[in-house]
Amino acid sequence: MLLKRYEEQNLLFNSNFTEAAGAGLTAYRGDLVLTEGEIADASGRRKPPTASVRQSVLLANAEKLVLAAGLLDDIAKLPLFVERYGKDFAADMQAVFFVNNIGKAMQLTLDGVGFKLLPLEDGMVWNELLEELRLEKGDLKGQSAGEKVATVCSALKDYKPRGAEVALEAALADTIEVRHGGRGPV
């Protein structure tokens, strides 16, 4: 199982769940490591990753990723994702990433996979994904967490993304500066 292998390689971080999603599929929600942290001690334990796909939503069969979604703070990290996990992409993989430093929706193709990129300054990937796909609570009622991820993957097959198709170089050149406001008690 692909996600089990990721787990054994410590590529899954801050996991919410990994569970069966029906028909030989496994779903995962949590963070996905892009760049591992340095080794912290003699036992080989590592510091937290230096780059990750936050709030990732993955769906995989035994050998390939069929859905990848999540939050990237910088569009420049998308090639890291493709480099690290590209060999595991299914030919028809659905890929939607919310990106902090883009100002408008766009699409691009890397390694033969079409990536739908949506701007997101602040929010939860899962909620934004459901809203973007216009899925209601009733569409997910009675399903397990894994089955909900499979439902999202099915909905993406009919999804008509916003934004123009651009080359990676153009997307990297068209970024915005992100300023996060202070949080917590004043």
Q: Residues 6 or more apart from 150 whose CB is under 8 A from it? A: 21, 22, 23, 25, 27, 59
* CA 154 to the chain's CA centroid: 16
Question: Is the pLDDT assigned to residue 61 strictly greater than 70?
Answer: yes
Please give the Cα distance from 91 to 6 (Å, whole number). Answer: 20
Q: Which has more confidence, 183 or 126?
A: 126
**pTM (two decimals):** 0.89
Please give the Cα distance from 139 to 33 (Å, whole number). Answer: 30
Question: Is the pLDDT assigned to residue 90 strictly greater than 70?
Answer: yes
Question: Once rounded to an integer, what is the mean pLDDT over residues 137-147?
Answer: 93
Is residue 48 a contact partner of residue 33, using CB atoms and an 8 Å limit? no
Tens digits of residue pLDDT in 30-41: 999 999 888 888
**What is the pLDDT of the chain when averaged over all its residues?**
90
